[in-house]
Amino acid sequence: MITLTRKERDRQLRKTDIIKAAERIFALKGFHAATMQDIAKEAQYATGTVYLYFRDKDTLYFSLVEEKLQDLLESVKIDIAKVLDAEDKIRICLDHNLDFFEKNQDFFRIFLSERTKIQVQKENKLYKSSVLLQYKEFIVSLVKIGQQQKIIRNDYEAGQIAEIFFSIFVSMIIDWFMKEPKNSARLTNLSGFILDVFLRGVGRK
Amino acid sequence: MITLTRKERDRQLRKTDIIKAAERIFALKGFHAATMQDIAKEAQYATGTVYLYFRDKDTLYFSLVEEKLQDLLESVKIDIAKVLDAEDKIRICLDHNLDFFEKNQDFFRIFLSERTKIQVQKENKLYKSSVLLQYKEFIVSLVKIGQQQKIIRNDYEAGQIAEIFFSIFVSMIIDWFMKEPKNSARLTNLSGFILDVFLRGVGRK
DNA sequence: TGTTAAAATGAATACAAATTCATTAATTAT
DNA sequence: ATAATTAATGAATTTGTATTCATTTTAACA
């Protein structure tokens, strides 16, 4: 049975190769303008080969989003469990995200366009990005911990506050990406600023 | 020459009809999945007729975005000029936007997907959504007024703060849209909450 | 009311790209 | 080493839809 396992591993490696290529192409051209040929070429395979690993273009796209987000979410969860203080948890979550997206700029572009979609209909199948939902749920849970520990107001809904937290840091990443020359400063340097704005606002006093 | 003018007016009316139909279809299906046939049908014209009014699909799409945003921006600017206090200006801007997007929910979906793009390449032509840029510039100018009047911190860049303001209110609109049953409460009711979070943050103290 | 011009139609065309599949190459087993 | 199995190839097929244009309908005008 060792043979089977190695085969499986090989197959997985090739899938990952294709996903990496797809990531670059989708980020560069967007979902529709990216062709399966582009992706195959980038991955150094023939067009048909991609179809041996992914049923169709949608499946490839969703596998990519799910896999990446899953990785991010898992690693954030592990690190967050190490501390008890809510503000620390939030800071760690933020740092992790900033670090992740700095290292995965291609994926960030894809992530951005996914953010508002959540689900996509094709024929009679309905693909839901369950990980994106989990991701959002996770942030809500963080906010709730903050509310319990009294560092976050509880006269506002946790869902709304989570949405605000999320949108602030996403907007700061966008802002960072826009600036030339890229990679001038580390994105993680913004973590203090973002947390400050989130907790204390931008008011003068 | 009266004939010519009336003709022009008629033509404009038909263009607006088509834009309204396009708005519904693009919002429902997204740019790529929306077909020119869908749009023509929705506008109660034949497919070819649409092409008598808009060169191609991209042009139709951009006309729609530009026209709508232009309207919003103009009306906000007019109302804002009526007051001098920065916080009043910001509140009016907010109210206007919330009211506008509540009344133009289809357009909001389109707006969302435009937000991060700004420009689109087709063949050798480059379409820039200049109004979206103007819109963002306008918010930056509001923030600067706030900084001058000392209600907004000036140790942060106006551009960044504008991005934050923008993203907070967009995220609150998304949140409102998600909630069922729709239209439960007026979106404009959120204006106080948003302004509060923006200026004072979500911290407990 | 008949003639001409403008507008609308929608089937036909063009084209791009997703997907398939008969063929070829590479691996594995004997 | 050879056969059998599995993987890869990429040209051909299929599909979907933007765009065109010959024809029909409507409006303008005398």
What phi, psi does B112 have (nearest 5°)? -55, -45
CATH 3.40.50.300 fits A56-200, yes or no: no
How far does the CA of residue B194 sit from the closest CA of chain A (Å)? 9
Residues 6+ apart with CB under 8 A from B5: none
In the predicted structure, residue B187 carries a pLDDT above the cut 90: yes
Rounded average pLDDT over B46-66: 96
Which residues lie below 8 Å from residue A14, measured CB to CB, with a gap of 6+?
Answer: A53
Judge whether A167 and B170 are in contact, CB under 8 Å.
yes
With 70 as the cut, is the pLDDT of residue B119 above it? no
B167-to-A20, A44, B1, B134, B194 alpha-carbon distances in Å:
30, 39, 49, 16, 11
Nearest to A95 by CA among A188, A199, A198: A188
According to CATH, what is the number of the domain B1-55? Answer: 1.10.10.60
Q: Which residues of A touch B172 (CB under 8 A)?
A: 160, 163-164
- Report the residue from B152, B175, B198 with minimal CB separation from A204: B152
Tokens of B99: 């009211």
CA A202 from centre of chain: 27
Strand D lies under 7 A from the Cβ of residue A115: no
Closest residue in A to B194 (Cα) is A164
Residue reference for tokens 């923008």: B166
Q: Do B152 and A202 touch (CB under 8 A)?
A: yes
Beta carbons within 10 angstroms of residue A55's beta carbon: 9
Share of chain B above pLDDT 90, in %: 71
> Distance (Å) from CA A35 to C1' D19?
22
User: Model confidence over B10-32: pLDDT tens digits?
Assistant: 899 999 999 999 999 999 998 99
- Residue A24's nearest CA partner among A12, A45, A11, A40 is A40
The mean pLDDT value for B165-184 works out to: 83
Query: Tell me, what's the pLDDT at B122?
Result: 47
| pLDDT for res A184 | 74
* B157 CA: distance to closest CA in chain A (Å): 11
In this prediction, residue B117 carries a pLDDT of 57
**Is some CB atom of chain A closer than 8 A to the CB atom of B182?**
no
Domain ranges of chain B: 1-55, 56-200
Long-range CB pairs of A24-29 (<8 Å, 24+ gap) are A24/A106, A26/A61, A26/A64, A26/A106, A26/A109, A26/A110, A27/A105, A27/A106, A27/A107, A27/A109, A27/A110, A28/A106
d(CA B143, CA B152): 7
**DSSP E strands: which ranges in A65-169?**
119-122, 125-128
- Confidence band, pLDDT 50/70/90 cuts, at residue B124: very low
Residues A159 and A146: their CA atoms lie apart, in Å, by: 13
Structure tokens at B64: 């729609």
Lowest mean pLDDT among A71-75, A176-180, B104-108: A176-180
Question: CB B202 to CB A150 under 8 A?
Answer: no
- B203 vs A204: CB contact, 8 Å cut-off? no
Residues recorded for chain A: 205
Bridge partner residues of B120 (DSSP): B127
Mean of the per-residue pLDDT values of chain A: 88
pLDDT band, very low/low/confident/very high, at B1 (cuts 50, 70, 90): very low
| pLDDT surpasses 60 at B121 | no
What's the CA gap between A198 and B201, in Å, rounded?
5
C-alpha B143/C-alpha B160 separation (Å) is: 10
Please determine whether the domains at A1-55 and A56-200 fall in the same fold group of CATH. Answer: no
What is the mean predicted confidence (pLDDT) over A169-185?
A: 81
Which tokens in the block code for residue B29?
């299906």
What is the chain B residue with the closest CA to A170? B167
Contacts of A77 (CB under 8 A, 6+ apart): A138
Residue A118, pLDDT score: 44
- Is the separation of the CB atoms in A165 and A198 below 8 Å? yes
Tell me if the bond preceding B181 is cis, omega within 30° of 0: yes
- Only one residue has tokens 């693909």, namely A127
pLDDT at A204 over 80: no
CB distance from A120 to chain B under 8 Å? no
Q: pLDDT tens for residues B126-160?
A: 556 688 889 999 999 999 999 999 999 998 999 99
Average pLDDT over residues A182-205: 84
Element (H, E) at B125: strand B125-128
> What's the CA gap between A17 and B57, in Å, rounded?
35
> Does the structure show a pLDDT above 50 at B180?
yes
A45 touches strand D (CB under 7 A): yes
Q: How big is chain B, counted in residues?
A: 205
pLDDT digits (tens, 9 = 90+) for A25-56: 999 998 999 999 999 999 999 999 999 999 99
> Which helix (H) or strand (E) is B122 found in, with range?
strand B119-122
Contact status, residue B36 vs residue B29, Cβ threshold 8 Å: no
Least confident of A98-112, A131-145, B107-121: B107-121
* Position B181 confidence tier, pLDDT thresholds 50, 70, 90: low
The predicted structure's pLDDT at residue A103: 94
What percent of chain A is modeled with pLDDT above 90? 70
